[in-house]
Amino acid sequence: MSVEWDVQTITDQLDLRSPIISGVLAVLAAVIGMLLTAPYVGLTLPIGIAGVLFIAAGVFVSHSRSYVSLGLASMFIVLVSVGAVGAVPTPVLLIGGVFTVVAWDVGQHAVTLGKQMGRGPPTARGEVIHAVGTFMVGMIIAAILYGVSLVPLGEQAVFPIVLLLLGVVALFWAVRS
């Protein structure tokens, strides 16, 4: 008389995997971030590729945050390594940093959305807006930083300014909690 409810119907309805758009955006951002920085130093290229693979595994295979965070860790090592040897122009490093953060954030967002919403409901609009939001915030911060670093304040100017910035961030962090 009435439709019987079976296990198959439930699992079809409830696809708790990470949504595809965020996953694709995260991997795309990771690839761009990696290509911008890793090739400058040959040794970091495999680490960068590993980072991209970790993020891809996190959003498409295991749907877990740990993989996405491993991806960030790998790409972070790449950024710091190429930055430490001074192989990359500052703007490229900053933009690479933005893409790395976007890859991590959007990847995490994909995992969260997968657990909270799943692949069933419409999520595209929210996903794109979130990714664009994170990207824009990063680009604005990067632009301000780069602009400030160009202001001629003498030879050692960058250090005090960054000290200042970092002090402000630490203060902000302490006050808010």
Residues 152-171 that bind other proteins (CB under 8 A): 153-154, 156-171
Shortest separation between residue 27's beta carbon and other proteins, angstroms: 19
Task: Tell me the Cα Rg of the chain.
Answer: 20
Binding segment toward other proteins, per CB under 8 A, in 3-11, 27-35, 38-46, 49-57: 3-11
Binding segment toward other proteins, per CB under 8 A, in 25-33, 39-47, 49-57, 128-136: 128-136
**Binding-residue total with other proteins (CB under 8 A):** 86
Shortest separation between residue 46's beta carbon and other proteins, angstroms: 20
Among 43, 44, 129, 152, binds other proteins (CB under 8 A): 129
151 counts as binding other proteins under rule CB under 8 A: no
Site for other proteins in 42-101 (CB under 8 A): 62-66, 69, 72, 76, 79-80, 83-86, 88-90, 93-94, 97-98, 101
Shortest separation between residue 42's beta carbon and other proteins, angstroms: 19
3-state helix, strand, coil in the chain (%, to 5): 80, 0, 20
Question: For residue 55, which of 84, 88, 78 has the smallest C-alpha distance?
Answer: 78
Two tokens, residue 167: 């002090």
Shortest separation between residue 143's beta carbon and other proteins, angstroms: 10
Q: CA dihedral in degrees (109, 111, 115, 121; nearest 10)?
A: 70
Identify the burial level of 164 via C-beta atoms within 10 angstroms of its C-beta, where 0-12 means exposed, 13-18 middle and 19 or more buried. exposed
Kindly give, in sequence order, each residue whose CB lies less than 8 Å from that of residue 128, ignoring residues fewer than 6 positions away: 21, 25
